[in-house]
Amino acid sequence: MPSGSALLQYAISGLTTGAVYALVALGYNLVYNATRVVNFAQGDFLSLGGLIMYSLLAAAGLPLVPALLLALAGAALAGAAVERLCLRPAKSREIMVLIFITVAASILLRGGMKHLWGKQALALPPWSHEVPLKVAGAAFTPQNLWVVGVTLLAILALSLFFGRTTVGKAMRAMAANPRAAALMGIDTRGLATLSFALAGGLGALAGVLITPITSLSYDVGLLMGLKGFAAAVLGGYGCFVGAVAGGLGLGLMESLGAGLLSSAYKDVIAFVVLLAVLFLRPQGLFGSKEGQR
Amino acid sequence: MSPSIQAKRFMAGLFPLAGVVALLPLVVTNPYYLGVLNLTALHVLAVTGLNLLIGFAGQISLGHAAFFGLGAYVSGILSAGYGLPPLLSLPIAVGFVCLVALVIGVPVLRLSGNYLVMATLGFNIIVTVLLVQMEDVTGGSSGYFGIPPLSLGGLALDTDLKFYWLAWGLALLGLVPARNLAHSHVGRGLRALHDSPQAALACGVPVASYKIRIFVLSAGYAAVAGALYAHYFGIVTPKTFDIFKSVELVTMCLVGGMGSLWGGLFGAAFLTPLPQLLHVFQEYQDLIFGGVLLLLLMFLPQGLVGRLEESLVRRGFGGIRPPLEETRGSE
């Protein structure tokens, strides 16, 4: 039986990656609710945010906060560009075609980032000092706190946005019924672009938070993007509470699976549990019913 | 239009194509390019099966590379590790993959939309990790090698050209049962399922059982392609069968034309050699590939062949889809 401190250690690292999965999953949900499209370029926003931040900190010598804001803005712009330049002019409205347009956009974005920043791994410095903190025998870095704390803030900001602002409420109306929303005078096209921009910003936020812990390269977002998608599905696609629960659940499952069972099989454990959940609840943990016979 | 006329028209499309395939080796003698053509034929086989599932039944799978890979590994390991003749190991591998598809399909096909995408992706990821981690059996991430070539009654298919005849022969032959299926009452039921599962169910189409059967069939196509791959290249690695391969196969369906078997063929024939051709652009390769794909999907959503085929069928040439008028009439 593993000790309590080891379990705490696994829980801390699980919550850290889980928070990042949750941010990525929220990005998927934003886009899905506005457009019904699964945006497979979501993971690339994560890499893009980290890479812009790296260039601004290392090359331009900007302080942390302006660099962070510019990185988010840059990825938000990329997100809006995916909607305006790739999806909106597309001839087909068939969801399958639109989804694979985002796959093509993802290949293009990755190609561009590889070209601009190269293939090598880069190191993004942590946000504050690197001295590990110790609680009850478990060690963690201040960056772990940043990840969890900033993610909580982002979730709070999003729930205020959707609950209190007119634009946020309009987006919820659009998610419920796009046609009715358009008839009520809501600018659904503009909101579609906005949802992609927000998703870009959320992805970049995930990127600047986690890449000081993992590593940074043009394709770091690929796997994170997939895990975020898995988290969104686990929680119930399109559901906000589900994205957070799914992200944290997946992160915890991975780190506990790696620590207690086998690190080589951690992805297998996570995905087997995911499949098992889907078999029992085809609509995800918090989703509304979508499965069928 | 009677089925026999439809069949004749299909054959009228197939024979010229077979002619082109038969003449190509006269022009292409470079073994590297022959290799690319052979890989194309294997992709055609896998995409034909996948197209039945996606284009006809409307069920997306981003896990077909797993079936492709399982077919390759099982046939490879049985022949190289256990000394079975490839002619025996290949059907065993295909049977095994169909069984796996059946076991996976029953729960997975209850899902729809994004949940189905995720479940098939997850299955593929699990298979890839298992292929890497079960080193004793699979050779781990460096792959499994020493797989013998296929031999038909003493004739070993050990050169690129000999394999070319088998691979393209099967790729073209594989279109025939797929075409027949698409035109049978099962095919019409699948199309109904594609447009509206509820309506299909109400009309007496056994939706659940059709979905599973077509899933198993398409997995079988992928397994044949995979097993052939193993015996041709002699080596299999887990990376060849990861989720990106699955995405690639679906992309071939889309770019060629969803729901058109010719489309799948041309999608595979276009996208398989494209990265090799783009090699000359070096660092711009990914950008150009992504750009070409993006523009095709944006502005030619019915696929390379989809549009061409519609106009050909209207003029009375062979097509796999029933003519538009007839489809409209039966609605």
For each of chain A's 293 residues, which pLDDT tens digit applies? 677 888 899 999 999 999 999 999 999 999 999 998 999 999 999 999 999 999 999 888 889 899 999 999 999 999 999 999 999 999 888 888 899 999 999 999 999 999 999 988 898 888 887 788 888 788 888 899 999 999 999 999 999 999 999 999 999 999 888 899 999 999 999 999 999 999 999 999 999 999 988 889 998 898 899 999 999 999 988 888 999 999 999 999 999 988 888 888 888 888 888 888 888 888 888 877 543 33
Flag if B301 and A108 touch (Cβ within 8 Å).
no
Closest CB from B113, B133, B293 relative to A264: B133
Q: Which residue has the tokens 């034309």?
A: B257
Query: pLDDT tens for residues A141-196?
Result: 889 999 999 999 999 999 999 999 999 999 999 988 889 999 999 999 999 999 99
What are B158's two structure tokens? 């050990």
**Interhelix angle B31-51/B64-82, nearest 10 degrees:** 120
Instruction: Give the pLDDT confidence score for residue A210 in this predicted structure.
Output: 92
Torsion of CA B160, B161, B167, B172, to 10 degrees: 150
What are A20's two structure tokens? 């990042």
State the CB neighbour count (10 A cutoff) for residue B34. 18
A and B: number of Cβ contacts within 8 A: 130
Q: Which residue has the tokens 């959503």?
A: B301
Tell me how far the alpha carbon of residue B178 is from its chain's centroid. 11
What are B170's two structure tokens? 């099967």
State the CB neighbour count (10 A cutoff) for residue A190. 11
- What size, in residues, is chain A? 293
Flag if A107 and B289 touch (Cβ within 8 Å).
yes
Instruction: Give the pLDDT confidence score for residue B309 in this predicted structure.
Output: 66
State the CB neighbour count (10 A cutoff) for residue A1. 6
Flag if A279 and B118 touch (Cβ within 8 Å).
no
Instruction: Give the pLDDT confidence score for residue A290 in this predicted structure.
Output: 45
Closest CB from A103, A108, A272 relative to B291: A108
Q: Which residue has the tokens 């028209």?
A: B9
Closest CB from A96, A272, A282 relative to B111: A282
Q: Is B152 helix (H, G, I), strand (E, B) or coil?
A: strand
State the CB neighbour count (10 A cutoff) for residue B171. 26
What secondary structure letter does DSSP report for A261? I
How far, in Å, CA of B282 to CA of B320, rounded?
38
Instruction: Give the pLDDT confidence score for residue A281 in this predicted structure.
Output: 86
Judge whether A180 is closer than 8 Å to chain B, CB to CB: no
- B74–chain A nearest CA distance, Å: 20
Contact between B88 and B210 under an 8 Å Cβ cutoff? The reply is: no
How far, in Å, CA of A194 to CA of A31, rounded?
9
Q: Which residue has the tokens 């009677």?
A: B2
Judge whether B244 is closer than 8 Å to chain A, CB to CB: no
Closest CB from A111, A115, A290 relative to B115: A290
- A134–chain B nearest CA distance, Å: 34
How far, in Å, CA of B200 to CA of B191, rounded?
9
Residue A131 has phi, psi (to 5 degrees) of: -65, 125
How far, in Å, CA of A226 to CA of A105, rounded?
16
User: Which one of A116, A267, A286 would you mutate to disrupt binding with B, by most B Cβ within 10 Å of its Cβ?
Assistant: A267
Closest CB from A97, A232, A278 relative to B254: A97
Instruction: Give the pLDDT confidence score for residue B322 in this predicted structure.
Output: 45
Which of A 111-130 lie inside 8 A of B, CB atoms?
111-112, 114-115
User: Which one of B117, B138, B286, B304 would you mutate to disrupt binding with A, by most A Cβ within 10 Å of its Cβ?
Assistant: B286
Going residue by residue through chain B, which has 331 residues, state the pLDDT in tens, using 9 for 90 and above: 455 666 677 777 788 888 888 888 888 888 888 999 999 999 999 999 999 999 888 898 999 999 999 999 999 999 999 999 999 999 999 999 999 999 999 999 988 888 898 899 999 999 999 999 999 999 998 999 999 999 887 788 888 889 999 999 999 999 988 888 888 888 888 888 888 888 888 888 888 888 999 999 999 999 999 999 999 999 999 999 999 999 999 999 999 888 888 888 999 999 999 888 888 887 788 888 899 999 999 998 888 887 676 666 666 655 445 444 334 333 3
Residue B178 has phi, psi (to 5 degrees) of: -65, -40
Count how many Cα atoms sit within 13 Å of the Cα of residue B315 in the half-sphere of its side chain.
6
Contact between B92 and B78 under an 8 Å Cβ cutoff? The reply is: yes
- What size, in residues, is chain B? 331
Q: What is the ipTM of this complex?
A: 0.87
Flag if B290 and A115 touch (Cβ within 8 Å).
no
